[in-house]
Every structure is written in structure tokens, then in C-alpha cells.
Copies of this chain bind each other. A is one copy, B any other.
Amino acid sequence: MTSSDSVPFDDRGLAYGDGVFETVLLRDGAPGLWPYHRARLMRGCRTLGIEPPDEAALAATWQAPASGLEVLKIILTRGSGGRGYALPGTAEPRLISRRTPFAPATLRWRGVDVCLCALRLARQPALAGIKHLNRLENVLARREWQRKDIAEGLLADSDGNLVEATAMNVFWRAGGAFWTPPLDACGVAGTLRAALLARGVVAEAPLSLAELRSSESIEQLFVGNSVQGVWPVNTLTAPDGELLRRFLSASASPLQAAAHRLLGYSPVAGALLSGEKR
């Protein structure tokens, strides 16, 4: 296990996206939802057949004194070598990380506008759920809109099922409960989503795009992740700006409150907080 701030030409993370990553919220140097980040990283290693990093090396990525909020990004690649796609006989995985000061977009906690991306996620059960380095679909989807007032883009799979947003998971309220799509064919299983599932705040259910756009049982919609927290969705538009649907305002929702407790963020009250940042 090596650590540095760059990777060589023959690193398989660069060559093939052969690796996994994590993006972790640090608060005064302490990682939020760490057991979930660690578990997903290990699951990714098992899925790809990469030797997992030892605990000390992993913990060393965040064990340095700091104050305030940071985002820690950890990249673990299979390391160098191998003959083409064939694995190297003695792979030495490469662990690199970087910490960056961070402030969440708190104004978005009150509500955002999102678009529905035209790109459909391919269904690949062999890679579903893990946070691997093959993220071109997310990059292409994020290219679909440039308008600054669009905060995220929703993604459906090739069967027309809602899956996630480009960098967040998606949740909705129906029948008074909160739901999120199963991720057994594609999508990244976020750590905030995992923690909310584990606590019974949300449960898995499929949702087709047709239902998303027109079902009256969909009361509210949310996107969220372990770094930004939860954004209630006000409107869903096409990438060109056409309004597809308006949702009930859902700031100060029990889902958001539960999520923000997990992340150490203050609950969102009715009025604007001072110093809020979009």
C-alpha cells in the first residue's frame, strides 16, 4: 500500500478506472458516517477483487488534527502493472487521499430545482452500488445542463426506473413514508442513504419515470448525500428548462432532520439562516 499525491502512467486506476473512491465529510478532523464509508470501500474491494487497505493506512487518511469542515477524498486503485486487463501477479494497491476545506450549500437545504437527464444508466449488476472509478455516465449526465439554477440531475436506468442523481441519492415521500430506489442494477449506494435505511427512516421501493412525473402519491422529492445533506426538490424540469412537475415544499422535513442529525448539520427552520451559502 503506497501513498502519494499522483499516480504513475501504468496505474490501473488511471488506465481502466480499476479502483474505488470515497468522499467523506470531516468535522474537526472526525469523519462522518465512517463505518458506512469504510464498509462501502471494503465491499468495492471484494467486488473488484482488490486487496483491502489495512485499517491503519485507511485511518491515516483522516487522522490529522483540523478544525471546521473538510471533505476527504480517498482513492484506492489496484496499483500498477498486469498485462493488459489481466491482473498483475503481485498487485500492490495504491491509496491516495486529499483533504479540502468545505462549506455545504445551506441555501439548498430550503429547496432546489432539478432536471431529468436524458442519459439512461446502463444496467450492470456486477458493478451496482459500489463507488468505483468508472464514472463516465455521471460525467456525461452532468454535461446535460449548464443553468446555475439547476442543482442536480436525476438519472433513470435503461428500463425507465429512477435510480439516483448525478452525485446524490434520491428519496421521495409517499403515503406518509420515505422511499429510495433499490440499487441492484446500477447507481452508487450512498452512505447517507445506507445510514437512513439502517435506521428505518427510509425503505427501498422502485419508481418508474412515469410515476415520478405524474403519480399523485409522490408527495415530495429529495436528493441528498453525506457531504451536502438533503435538498428538497421544488421543481423537476427537462434539461432545456421545460417544467415537468412541481413538488410540495419540503424544507424542515423529518427526512432532512434525520439526515442532518447524522451529519451534524443544524436542522432547517422556517426562516433563512444567516450566512447561508448557495
Most buried by B among A6, A49, A98: A6
Given the interface pairs A14-B11, A15-B75, the reply to whether A84 lies near B142 with Cβ below 8 Å is yes
A199 contacts B by Cβ under 8 Å: no
B contact residues around A142 at 8 Å (CB) = 84-87
Given the interface pairs A14-B14, A122-B124, A123-B158, the reply to whether A49 lies near B136 with Cβ below 8 Å is no
Contacts A15-B133, A85-B139 aside, 20 further interface pairs with beta carbons under 8 A come to A6-B7, A6-B9, A7-B7, A9-B96, A14-B77, A16-B136, A17-B133, A17-B134, A84-B142, A85-B141, A85-B167, A86-B142, A87-B142, A119-B126, A122-B122, A122-B186, A126-B140, A132-B136, A134-B134, A134-B136
**25 A-B contact pairs sorted by A residue (CB < 8 Å):** A5-B9, A6-B9, A7-B14, A9-B75, A14-B75, A14-B77, A14-B133, A15-B135, A16-B133, A16-B134, A16-B135, A16-B136, A17-B136, A18-B136, A18-B139, A48-B139, A49-B143, A84-B167, A85-B167, A87-B142, A123-B123, A123-B158, A127-B137, A133-B136, A134-B135
Bound Cα distance from A11 to B85, whole angstroms: 21
Bound Cα distance from A165 to B182, whole angstroms: 31
CB-nearest residue of chain B to A167: B84
A166 contacts B by Cβ under 8 Å: yes
The answer to whether A85 and B127 touch across the interface, beta carbons within 8 angstroms, is no
Bound Cα distance from A12 to B134, whole angstroms: 11
The answer to whether B132 and A127 touch across the interface, beta carbons within 8 angstroms, is no
A138 contacts B by Cβ under 8 Å: yes
Question: Smallest Cβ distance from A168 to chain B, in angstroms?
Answer: 10
Bound Cα distance from A75 to B14, whole angstroms: 9
CB-nearest residue of chain B to A130: B136
A8 contacts B by Cβ under 8 Å: yes
Q: What sequence of 0s and 1s flags, for each residue 233-255 of chain A, a beta carbon within 8 Å of any chain B beta carbon? A: 00000000000000000000000
Bound Cα distance from A86 to B13, whole angstroms: 20
Question: Smallest Cβ distance from A133 to chain B, in angstroms?
Answer: 6
CB-nearest residue of chain B to A77: B14
Q: What sequence of 0s and 1s flags, for each residue 61-99 of chain A, a beta carbon within 8 Å of any chain B beta carbon? A: 000000000000001010000001111000000001010
| CB proximity to B under 8 Å, residues A37-71 | 48-49
